[in-house]
Structure 1
Amino acid sequence: METLVEVRSPAEIYDTRFVPALFAQWGPIVAAEAGVREGDRVLDVACGTGALTLAVAKIAGPSGSTVGLDANPEMLAVARAKPVEIEWMQGVAEALPFADDRFDIVVSQFGLMFFEDKPKALSEMMRVLKPGGRLVVAVCDAVENSPGYCAFAQLLDRLFGEMVGNAFRSPFTLGSADRLHQICDEAGIADAEVVRRNEKVRFRSVDDLVSTERACVWTLGGMLDDEQFERLLNGSKSALRPFLIDGGAIEFDMPSLLIKADKP
């Protein structure tokens, strides 16, 4: 009898695996740092499947409005399937399709490190903010400050070389307050503040972490074959043992850096 194999898009895998493990917990943190209030008009740039967008929309409520913008149509397709009153739009951060001074709050979570022109993206976010509005942008802190991911990156280096290890490190490349201040200066944001906040990464098991990374087209996806992933899984069971908690789940810190700026 033929076995049916479920095929899911990278966006669906992102939403069902990465969002619960890494990103959902950051939505309320970023919303609080931005000071989102009921009735606010909010824009989430690089919204993905909506982890942060949902958090800000819940606060802004029906008297406010929330727009989620992303360049990836597959991400937006997953977001649009959610039963929420949010306007989902396709577009890029470097050329936001909005008039000046439109939003009370602009937020972005774990997208800036992938933008082609980071200063331009920040300047666009400030442009669409109303005077007195607030911008908050979250990026991953340096991988060295996330002990589980640091151990995983070092394991990749040992097993397959630094090219593979550095591919995994790509989301962590903006983990420097000095670098973020430099980008803000280039964007013309003179009084930006960079703060550090901490949350936890939680996977159901080491196997779940490795299989999730295997499915990630933005880092390891397509780089390793079946035999190499089997070696990675076996090595991870030892390298990540210090982060095991009750029941075989895995948990460790993943701090982030947040850019905070008010529009004069």
Structure 2
Amino acid sequence: MTATETFQLQITAAEFYEQKFVPAIFAEWAPLLIQAAGISPGQSVLDVGCGTGIVARHAANRLAGTGVVVGVDLNDAMLAVARRIRPDIDWRKGDAGALPFPAREFDAVLCQMALMFFPDRVGALREMARVARDGGTVAAVVPGRLADQPAYGPFMDVAARHAGDQALALLNTYWSCGDIGELQWLFHAAGLDVVSASSHMGTARHASVEAFVRTEVEGSPLIDRITPRQYASIREDAEEVLRPFTSADGSVAAPLQGHIITATKK
């Protein structure tokens, strides 16, 4: 993946992302991020890199009709799905490196599983700090290092073996913010004071190995970069590497480590 490449999805992939990725993975992390950030009724909340909006939706539920929730993303397809699901939330198209909001607009700025995709991570965090009010909260969740992922590590090896170096570079982006010390440094470099930094071992749950592979491949740009033969080989070898995480009924419970960082604006 080049420094300027972004994860642009077609509408079918965005719908698949919402149907598969969100319930299998991201729905677990959204309430953890909301809790860590101390979101409470009456606040104004921005969800940066909102995707199809799982964090914004949880924030809106927490606010219970008070305050303001805004979701911003660069991907039109993601925003289209977000608007379909929750038309009552304010969804905006915008770049994390140049957020389309005035300074000191929000009490809390949240970013779930997106920071690793931003070409300039410190710049994006500076933008989050800029639009946060003085003393406001900036909080993020990112996946941990690939070396600390007992299920995803072997699966990524399978995908790289069959799909080649380009796929490996693309997939490695997911785990590129996984060093918690370096992650804290990014926040400090953006002028934020880190209040807490913790790791959590979540679980990605899928009905089968096939469902796991479909979610990881078809919910990302990788599906457009591999041949049907490569895809079939990935599915076949995934059965073996995911066997330790597969139950008797065929369902998969894959451990997924992530880091939650909460900071305040000076």
TM-score relative to the length of structure 2? 0.90
Q: What percent of counterpart residues are identical?
A: 33
Q: Which residue does the alignment assign to 2:33?
A: 30
Q: Which residue does the alignment assign to 2:3?
A: none
Taking a change above 3 Å as real, the CA distance of residues 161 and 91 of structure 1, as seen in their structure-2 partners, is: closer
Q: Which residue does the alignment assign to 1:149?
A: 152
**Hey, what's the Cα distance between the residues in 2 that align with 1:17 and 1:102?**
33
TM-score relative to the length of structure 1? 0.91
**Hey, what's the Cα distance between the residues in 2 that align with 1:96 and 1:119?**
14
Counterparts of residues 58-207 of structure 1 (less than 5 Å)? 58-83=61-86, 85-191=88-194, 193-207=196-210
Preserved CA contact (<8 Å) 2:193 2:265: no
Output the amino acid matched with 2:201: N
Taking a change above 3 Å as real, the CA distance of residues 247 and 63 of structure 1, as seen in their structure-2 partners, is: same
**Hey, what's the Cα distance between the residues in 2 that align with 1:263 and 1:98?**
16
State the shift of 1:8 in Å. 5.6
Q: Which residue does the alignment assign to 1:16?
A: 19
- Relative contact order: is structure 1 or structure 2 higher (C-alpha 8 Å, sep ≥ 6)? 2
More deviation, 69-78/123-132: 123-132
**Hey, what's the Cα distance between the residues in 2 that align with 1:196 and 1:47?**
21
More deviation, 161-170/242-251: 161-170
Counterparts of residues 51-62 of structure 1 (less than 5 Å)? 51-62=54-65
Deviation per CA, 1:102-150, whole angstroms, max 9, x where unpaired?
A: 1111101011111121111101111111122111111111122221111
Q: Which residue does the alignment assign to 1:48?
A: 51
Taking a change above 3 Å as real, the CA distance of residues 157 and 63 of structure 1, as seen in their structure-2 partners, is: closer
Given candidates 236, 239, 246, the residue that maps to 1:237 is 239
How many corresponding residue pairs?
257
- Structure 1: segments with no counterpart, 5+ residues: 1-6
State the shift of 1:190 in Å. 4.4
- Structure 2: segments with no counterpart, 5+ residues: 1-9
Output the amino acid matched with 2:241: A
**Hey, what's the Cα distance between the residues in 2 that align with 1:156 and 1:82?**
32
**Hey, what's the Cα distance between the residues in 1 that align with 2:86 and 2:28?**
20
**Hey, what's the Cα distance between the residues in 2 that align with 1:122 and 1:252?**
30
**Hey, what's the Cα distance between the residues in 1 that align with 2:97 and 2:86?**
29
Secondary structure at the residue paired with 1:93? coil
Q: Which residue does the alignment assign to 2:212?
A: 209
State the shift of 1:89 in Å. 0.7
Q: Which residue does the alignment assign to 1:4?
A: none
More deviation, 186-195/48-57: 186-195
